Amino acid sequence: MADKLSAVKGMNDILPPGVPRTEKLPDSAMWQWFEGAVRQVLGRYGYQYLLTPIVEPTALFVRGLGEVTDIVEKEMYSFTDSMNGDRLTLRPEATAGIVRAMIEHNALYNGPLRVWTVGPMFRHERPQKGRYRQFHQLDVEALGLAGPDVDAEMILIARALWRELGLVEGEHVRLEINSLGQPAERRAHRDALVKYLEQNAAQLDADAQRRLHSNPLRILDSKNPAMQALIEAAPQLMDFLGAESLAHFNAVRGVLDAVGLQYRINPRLVRGMDYYNLTVFEWVTDQLGSQGTVCGGGRYDGLIEQLGGKGAPAVGFGLGIERLLLLIQALGLPVADASPHAYAIVPPGAPLARVMTVLEVLRVQGVRIQQHAAGPDGPGSMKSQFKKADASGAAHALIFGADELAQGMVTVKALRDGTGAQVQRPLAEAAAWAASLQSTV
């Protein structure tokens, strides 16, 4: 036998319900339910769908994310195209690619754009629950819009999605926000911070010492317990914000307050990418251990110009789909039922052409039907077919027995309401009784 092939470490198959899963990730039915909710919600806010390539030039991410970020320093899947020597990278996040596409197609020429995409991202991290090497994000971006209303809109979109999925904000997911101000304000804060950290150099761990001059803000993000007191007392960016930045932040807060959305201002929220300014936010949960951030985003007014476009403001967020679905699973929230409405039981010797003609009529009416199909050993006994009908989750069995067929009828049996009730329906009028199957009780 040939060597057993398996998926790359940290990269998962998203499998249909019923397939035993080694990785405790949600099944594909939950995935589709989530995507349906996303389409609904983003449509309500007037966002349009787009797709960009999974592979981009490495330079895009180096220029876009910043050379000394975690992602660019140690998490990118970069390789040389063996055909032509190009340096390429599997996208670790979606924003840079979307901005590249918008610049390339001069997409902001006619005005601002609100877009979203869903797809795989790649980061070479240590795989663990909620952290994978291929994972999926919902990514939402508004380009060419500068106002605090749009920052608030981003946060409201996430909240609307939580509600659509049955998550309760403030309980299952909590909002944290901060303002990173503008580059000049950040520089002034950074200078003060470096000075402060230099004065306390003895308390810095190796990682912090390395970052002291390259990326001191990231030191504030350190999880090292030994440095928490030092971080706590560090100069805060909020104290360096000018009137305009403060007004922007307060306007965002004003909307959140008005709609009754609770949040915590977290002065240490800095986010991983260099491109952010003004508002940044994260939605966090306590349910997923150290992988507790399900959604993060913010404003990135400098990125479009930094990547060679005509300067334009922008704001967006990325949501980790695996983490969110793991959270919903852990909470045991109800997920829309994608089971078939009916399972068609086809006894050995039944006239398949006639049966399938009727099933087509029912499906045109919107009935979801799984037809029993013969395995390698034949169609299977009635008993085994009924077992499959139960396992399919269908609410009804359609029994195409010889006696019924002779009278132009099919038997409809209730499988899940506890009654086991049976009724006979005329085959010739299938369209008329199709609706009676469309309950999933």
| Secondary structure in 3-state letters for the chain | CCCCCCCCCCCCCCCCCCCCCCCCCCCHHHHHHHHHHHHHHHHHCCCEECCCCCEEEHHHHHHHHCCCCHHHHHHCEEEECCCCCCEEEECCCCHHHHHHHHHHCCCCCCCCEEEEEEEEEECCCCCECCECCEEEEEEEEEECCCCHHHHHHHHHHHHHHHHHHCCCECCCEEEEEEECCCHHHHHHHHHHHHHHHHHCHHHCCHHHHHHCCCCHHHHCCCCCHHHHHHHHCCCCHHHHCCHHHHHHHHHHHHHHHHCCCCEEECCCCCCCCCCCEEEEEEEECCCCCCCCEEEEEEECCCHHHHCCCCCCCEEEEEEEHHHHHHHHHHHCCCCCCCCCCEEEECCCCCCHHHHHHHHHHHHHCCCCEEECCCECCECCCHHHHHHHHHHHCCCEEEECCHHHHHCCEEEEEECCCCCCCEEEEEHHHHHHHHHHHCCCC
Nearer to ligand ATP, 284 or 389 (CB): 284
Binding of residue 12 to ligand ATP (CB under 6 A): no
Interface with ligand ATP (CB under 6 A), residue from 125, 164, 205, 404: 125
Between 132 and 343, whose beta carbon lies closer to ligand ATP?
A: 132
Stretch that binds ligand ATP, among 16-24, 111-119, 124-132, 237-245 (CB under 6 A): 124-132
Residues of this chain, 128-157, that bind ligand ATP according to CB under 6 A = 130-132, 135, 137
Within residues 270-299, the interface with ligand ATP by CB under 6 A covers: 272, 291, 293-296
Q: What residues between 92 and 121 interact with ligand ATP by CB under 6 A?
A: 93
Closest approach, Cβ 141 to ligand ATP, in A, equals 13
Closest contact distance (angstroms) between CB of 44 and ligand ATP is 22
Binding residue (CB under 6 A) for ligand ATP from 123, 189, 372, 396: 123
56 or 322: CB nearest ligand ATP: 322
Tell me which of 26, 309, 320, 380 binds ligand ATP, using CB under 6 A. Answer: 320
Q: Which stretch binds ligand ATP (CB under 6 A): 80-88, 234-242, 316-324, 410-418?
A: 316-324
Q: Which residues of the shown chain bind ligand ATP in the complex (CB under 6 A)? A: 93, 123, 125, 130-132, 135, 137, 272, 291, 293-296, 318, 320, 322-323
